[in-house]
Structure 1
Amino acid sequence: MPWPQYINNAFEATLPNSATDEGPLYGPYLGLLKELFPTNDHYLTRSQVKRPPESIDCTRVFIVHRLVHRNTHPVFFLEIRPPGDYIDCSSRAAVDDHVRGWLVDLAHEAGLPIIHGVSAFGTRLCFYSYTRDNQHMDPPHTAPAPAAQWNVELLSNDGAEEMTRVANDTKNMVAERGWLGGW
Structure 2
Amino acid sequence: PVTVREAVDFVGLLFIYPNATPVFIVEVKPPADFRLSSKRREADLRLRRCFLDITPDMEIPVLYGASAFGTKIAFYQYDKESGRLDPASIAPDTHLLIDTAPKEWWCYDIVEQAGADKFREIVGEVKKMCEGVGCIVNQA
TM-score by length of 2: 0.83
Q: Alpha-carbon deviation of 1:89?
A: 0.7
Q: Alpha-carbon deviation of 1:55?
A: 3.9
Structure 2 CA distance for aligned equivalents of residues 53 and 118 of structure 1: 20
Q: Give 2:6's aligned residue.
A: 57
Q: Alpha-carbon deviation of 1:181?
A: 7.1
Q: Give 2:64's aligned residue.
A: 116
Task: Find out whether 1:154 has 2:83 as its counterpart.
Answer: no
Aligned residue identity for 1:63: F
Aligned residue identity for 2:111: L
Deviation string for 1:133-154 (max 9, x for gaps)?
2110111112411111111000
Q: Give 2:36's aligned residue.
A: 88
Structure 2 CA distance for aligned equivalents of residues 161 and 103 of structure 1: 24
Q: Give 1:145's aligned residue.
A: 101
Q: Out of 110, 119, 128, which is 2:76 matched to?
A: 128
Q: Alpha-carbon deviation of 1:73?
A: 2.0
RMSD (Å) for aligned C-alpha atoms: 1.8
Task: Call closer, same or farther: CA 1:147–1:180 in 2, change over 3 Å.
Answer: closer
Deviation string for 1:57-86 (max 9, x for gaps)?
22321111213xxxx222111000000110
Give aligned pairs, total.
127
Aligned residue identity for 1:56: R
Identity of aligned residues (%): 27
Extract unaligned runs of 5+ from structure 1.
1-51
Q: Alpha-carbon deviation of 1:122?
A: 0.3
Structure 2 CA distance for aligned equivalents of residues 145 and 158 of structure 1: 21
Q: Give 2:129's aligned residue.
A: 173
Q: 1:56 aligns to what SS in structure 2?
A: helix
Extract unaligned runs of 5+ from structure 2.
92-99
Structure 2 CA distance for aligned equivalents of residues 181 and 136 of structure 1: 25
Equivalent residues of 1:104, 1:130 under 8 A apart: no
Deviation string for 1:102-144 (max 9, x for gaps)?
1122221122111000000000000001112211011111241
Task: Call closer, same or farther: CA 1:180–1:141 in 2, change over 3 Å.
Answer: closer
Equivalent residues of 2:18, 2:136 under 8 A apart: no
